[in-house]
Each structure stands twice: as C-alpha cells, then as structure tokens.
C-alpha cells in the first residue's frame, strides 16, 4: 500500500496540559504495526471516546492521539490469510482508540485478533449504530437473560437510559418481551424512551436512595446499570430475591458503597461487563445476535449520523456534560 495521506482527528497536549482537537493529515506510515490495514467507512462516538478526546489519561496515556474505539470498513491488505482484501469487517474495543490510533481517521492498522467479520444481516453503517455501546448493552442483556431473569418475574430496570448503552439495552429488553423501567436525568425524553419500548420512565430521584438502609422494597427482577455510584447501589438493594444486576459504567462515580445483605439475604448477583476484552467466540456470538434475533426496529430512532470528523467536537461536549441521547455515528470515508 502506498504511503498516501488521509484525514484524521488528532488530539494534542499543550505545554500547559490543555488538549486540542484538530483535523490533520496523516499517512499510512504513521499507523501502528498490525496485520490488517482497514479503510474505515464509519466510526461511532462512545463515552470512552469523549474521555480520550478530552485528555483523560486513564483512557489514553500518550498524546498526540487519534481516538475512536469503534471502526467498520473494508480490508485493504492483511498478512493474515483469514482476512481477504475487500472483506467487510468491524473492530470494537481491545486497545483501539485508547493507546492504539483509533477509528477517527480513514485508515486503521490493527492485530488480526481484534478483527470481526461483519455479521450477515448488518451493514457497516448499522454495525456502528451499535458500536461498543450497543455491544455492551447486548452483553449486559445476554447476562441478565442467560443467568435466568425471565419476563414473567417482573420489571427490569435500565439506568442512564437515554445514553448509548442505556438506549440499546432498553430496546433489546423491550423487544425481547421484558417490562422495562427506564431511569433518566432527562424526563423530557420520556417519549423517546417509551418509543424504544420502555413501559415506564422514572426520574433519577426515584432510583437514588438516600436512606442508607441496606435493603429496600424489591422492585426489579434485574437491572442493567450504566452509571455506577449510588444509583447502582440502589438498584442492588431494590432487586428482588435471586435477581441479576449488571454493571458496566462509571458515569456518576467509580465508587460502589453497598452492604453484603442484598447478596447474602436476597441472593442478588452483581455481574461485571467488560466489552473491550470479550473473548472472540463470545464476541462473535453476541454480534450475531445483534444482527439476528436482537436486531432492533429502532436503530434509526436511536442514531444521529454526523457528517464528518469536524462534527464530533460538539457531540463530545454533550457526552461530557451528561446530555447525550442515543448513538452518534460518523461517516469517515466513501
């Protein structure tokens, strides 16, 4: 592949520790080593991208850096025979966009072990409508369902419901026959959540217990939490006997203060979700579900398509302010 120039978002750190985002030219030779070179058609915007793009060293240690933890496109060349030139593929997680140059540029080069063949039933664009957020929502729902929460056991709770992970979790669970109660800081977005299939929308105040009591009246057969902190702690103590609570996010806090009583008196299980390092066999299984029986009727409702890299800035700020709704994808190249 010749050393052509292409556009990339580049985040740089200034001498006074400010972080500046700009659209710059990069070249193929600037990309990291890896077996598979991919021309990126679409990427997407996740909470972690907003952190990487704003200088969060817990996500990205070294700048200059190109964020983008998701990418979907065509294989240009591969030293691994499993991937033929022209094949449609996607990459989410692993180290992409963290300390490996990410999807906000026209080409990425990655290890073959990170590459997922595009599942039948999804376009490249649709795969990024899910992206890491949708994959994480699906992993959370998969756990809830496979660990035994059934629709007849009662309502399930989704927190951070208008966010990327939350929106897709609401829609998957509703489409799978569960009675979904959505918690949101944005009650004005109740019509959106009801459209995704939520049966009820409640305010954060109703899901953020301040009593300090170790157990509360059981309300949920299970919960998908995306925000952490006291909202997660409240979800755990309001989950009924034998229920499952999944935990993937730290939007409100990385802290979790709880007692052991929900676990030893009610047999509640807390299940951690780590999408980035999901083993390939399970990764393929869950992507196939997203392309198959979990394929959402509401993908377009959930998604905003940004016209190009320049448009990412505004959306990054929305995420950092907790004001994001749904998913944003960005067209990177034709």
Judged by beta carbon, residue 37 or residue 244, the one nearer ligand NAP is 244
Nearer to ligand NAP, 78 or 238 (CB): 238
Shortest distance, position 240 Cβ to ligand NAP, whole Å: 23
Smallest distance from ligand NAP to CB 153, Å: 24
On whether the CB atoms of residues 95 and 55 are closer than 8 A, the answer is no
CB of 42 to ligand NAP, least distance (A): 16
Residue with tokens 């208008």: 162
- Residue 152: CB partners within 8 Å, gap ≥ 6? none
Instruction: For the CB of residue 186, give the shortest distance to ligand NAP in the complex, in Å.
Output: 4
Q: Minimum distance from CB of 126 to ligand NAP (Å)?
A: 17
The residues that touch ligand NAP, with contacts defined as CB under 6 A, are: 46-48, 132-133, 136, 160-166, 184-186, 204, 226-227, 231, 248-252, 273-276, 319, 322, 324
User: What is the distance between the alpha carbons of residues 117 and 268, in angstroms, rounded to a whole number?
Assistant: 36
* Residue 28 vs 271, nearer CB to ligand NAP: 271
State in Å, rounded, how far the first CA of the chain is from the last one: 18
Q: How far is the CB of 322 from ligand NAP (least distance, A)?
A: 3
Least separation in angstroms between CB 140 and ligand NAP: 9
Q: How many Cα atoms occupy the beta-carbon half-sphere of 209 within 13 Å?
A: 18
190 phi/psi in degrees, rounded to 5: -55, -40
Which residue's Cβ lies closest to ligand NAP? 163
- Alpha carbons 252 and 160: distance in angstroms, whole number: 10
Distance (Å, whole) CA 235 – CA 208 = 8
Residue placing its CB nearer to ligand NAP in the complex, 75 or 296? 296
Between 68 and 166, CB nearer to ligand NAP: 166
CB nearer to ligand NAP: pick between 118 and 183: 183
Task: Check: CB of residue 309 under 8 Å from CB of residue 332.
Answer: yes
CB of 46 to ligand NAP, least distance (A): 4
**Which of residues 239 and 246 has its CB atom nearest to ligand NAP in the complex?**
246
CA distance 112 to 94: 12
Nearer to ligand NAP by Cβ, of 108 and 138: the residue is 138
Geometric angle at alpha carbon 99, from 93 and 102, rounded to 5°? 60
Q: What is the largest CA-CA distance in the chain?
A: 64
Task: DSSP for 15-42, please give it.
Answer: TTS-EEEEEEEEEGGGSPP-SEEEEEEE
DSSP assignment of 98-129:
TTB--SSBSEEEE-GGG-EEPPTT--HHHHHH
């Amino acid at each position: 592949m010749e050393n052509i120039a292409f556009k990339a978002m580049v985040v740089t750190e200034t001498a006074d520790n400010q972080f500046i985002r700009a659209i710059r030219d990069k070249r193929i030779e600037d990309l990291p080593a890896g077996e598979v070179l991919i021309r990126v058609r679409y990427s997407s915007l996740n909470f972690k991208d907003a952190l990487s793009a704003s200088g969060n060293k817990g996500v990205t240690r070294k700048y200059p850096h190109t964020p983008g933890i998701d990418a979907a496109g065509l294989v240009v060349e591969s030293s691994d025979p499993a991937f033929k030139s022209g094949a449609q593929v996607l990459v989410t997680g692993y180290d992409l966009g963290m300390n490996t140059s990410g999807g906000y540029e026209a080409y990425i080069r990655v290890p073959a072990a990170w590459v997922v063949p595009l599942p039948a039933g999804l376009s490249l664009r649709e795969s990024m409508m899910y992206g890491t957020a949708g994959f994480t929502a699906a992993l959370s729902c998969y756990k809830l369902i496979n660990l035994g929460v059934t629709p007849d056991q009662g309502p399930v709770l989704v927190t951070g419901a208008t966010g990327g992970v939350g929106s897709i979790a609401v829609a998957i669970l509703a489409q799978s026959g569960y009675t979904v109660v959505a918690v949101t800081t944005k009650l004005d977005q109740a019509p959106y959540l009801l459209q995704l299939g939520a049966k009820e929308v409640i305010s954060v105040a109703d899901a953020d217990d301040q009593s300090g009591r170790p157990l509360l009246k059981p309300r949920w057969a299970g919960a998908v939490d995306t925000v952490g902190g006291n909202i997660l702690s409240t979800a755990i103590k309001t989950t009924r006997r034998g229920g499952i609570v999944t935990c993937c996010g730290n939007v409100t806090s990385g802290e979790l203060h709880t007692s052991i009583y929900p676990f030893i008196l009610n047999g509640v299980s807390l299940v951690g979700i780590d999408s980035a390092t999901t083993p390939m066999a399970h990764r393929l299984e869950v992507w196939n579900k997203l392309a198959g029986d979990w394929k959402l009727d509401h993908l377009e409702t959930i998604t905003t398509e940004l016209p190009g890299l320049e448009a990412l800035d505004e959306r990054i700020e929305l995420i950092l302010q907790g004001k994001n709704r749904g998913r944003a994808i960005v067209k990177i190249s034709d």
